[in-house]
Amino acid sequence: MIIAVDGPTASGKGTIARALADHFGLPVLDTGLLYRAVGYQTQLGHGDPDNAADALAACDFPDTLLDDPALRYESTGGLASRVSIHPAVRKALFQRQVDFANQPGGAVLDGRDIGTVIAPHADAKLFVTASPEERARRRHAEMRARGVDVTYDAVLADVHARDARDTGRADAPLLRADDALLLDNSDMDIDEAIAAAIAFVETKVGRPG
Ligand code: DC
């Protein structure tokens, strides 16, 4: 069984994908981490993330980079969003994601183009979102709790910039697949959103076990 979880930045899609993986006993891939690794590796090599050749050269990053805490930084998310615009980068990361999706037994993947490009044949697709203000509020609270000194307005501006780049790019833009459940969790807490996601997948594929 393949479960595709797409959505914009700070929508809760990663948490929901991990909860689905736990519930259904499946491996999970956070595909954003691959783009984050490319963005970060580009910067480590003093390349320009807006330059396709520089970003492509960074696609052979070492796997150990995926464990680097720097990949989780907000600034790395911005680099990831910039390198993800280049079709050559998307092509270089394509097979790795397709292979993960098609492994025996199935998988959960979260990202921007899982239900549309990586696994259009997925058994269940979710498009997880929340209003930009609510996503910025959550991201701001999370960053403040980690001791990052940032204003809500700066986080909201970043959310808007990331949304514009991720939905506006020509190649595999962030898009809800026609057959994806729209899970807007603006007025839900995370437990309610997870319960709704599990209930939807169960209507598609049945209960685990
Ligand atoms: O999910 P995330 O915030 O870690 O993703 C970081 C960036 O990577 C996101 O802004 C766009 C890009 N990305 C993508 O283009 N396609 C994916 N499947 C996942 C992420």
Over the stretch 65-118, which tens digit does the pLDDT of each residue have?
999 999 998 899 999 999 999 999 999 999 999 999 999 999 999 999 999 999
In a domain, 206, yes or no: no
The predicted structure's pLDDT at residue 205: 87
Helices (H), 6-131: 13-24, 32-44, 52-57, 74-83, 87-101
In a domain, 207, yes or no: no
The verdict on the CB of residue 7 being under 6 Å from ligand 1 is no
Decide if 164 contacts 85 (C-beta within 8 A).
Answer: no
The verdict on the CB of residue 36 being under 6 Å from ligand 1 is yes
In a domain, 208, yes or no: no
In a domain, 13, yes or no: yes
Give me the number of domains the chain comprises: 1
Angstrom CA distances, 84 to 34, 40, 47, 197, stand at 10, 12, 15, 27
The verdict on the CB of residue 35 being under 6 Å from ligand 1 is yes
The C-alpha atoms of residue 204 and residue 199 are separated, in whole angstroms, by 9
Q: What is the pTM assigned to this prediction?
A: 0.95
Indicate the annotated binding residues for ATP: 7-15
Residue 64 burial class via C-beta count within 10 angstroms: exposed 0-12, middle 13-18, buried 19 and up: exposed
In a domain, 172, yes or no: yes
What's at 149, amino acid-wise? D
Query: Has residue 207 got a pLDDT over 80?
Result: no
- Predicted confidence (pLDDT) per residue in 184-198, tens digit: 999 999 999 999 999
Closest atom of ligand 1 relative to the 78 alpha carbon? 10
The verdict on the CB of residue 9 being under 6 Å from ligand 1 is yes
Query: Which CATH number do you get for residue 179?
Result: 3.40.50.300
- List the domain range (segments joined by +) for residue 189: 2-200
pLDDT band at 209 (very low <50, low <70, confident <90, very high): low
Encoded tokens for 42: 């580009």
The predicted structure's pLDDT at residue 153: 98
- Predicted confidence (pLDDT) per residue in 146-170, tens digit: 999 999 999 999 999 999 999 999 9
- Predicted confidence (pLDDT) per residue in 33-77, tens digit: 999 999 999 999 999 999 999 999 999 999 999 999 999 988 999
Instruction: Please tell me the residue having the least CA distance from ligand 1 atom 10.
Output: 81
In a domain, 128, yes or no: yes
Number of helical (H) and strand (E) elements in the chain, helices listed first: 8, 5
In a domain, 125, yes or no: yes
Q: Could you tell me the end-to-end alpha-carbon distance of the chain, in angstroms, rounded to an integer?
A: 13
The C-alpha atoms of residue 82 and residue 74 are separated, in whole angstroms, by 13
Closest atom of ligand 1 relative to the 81 alpha carbon? 10
Mean pLDDT computed over every residue of the chain: 96
In a domain, 190, yes or no: yes
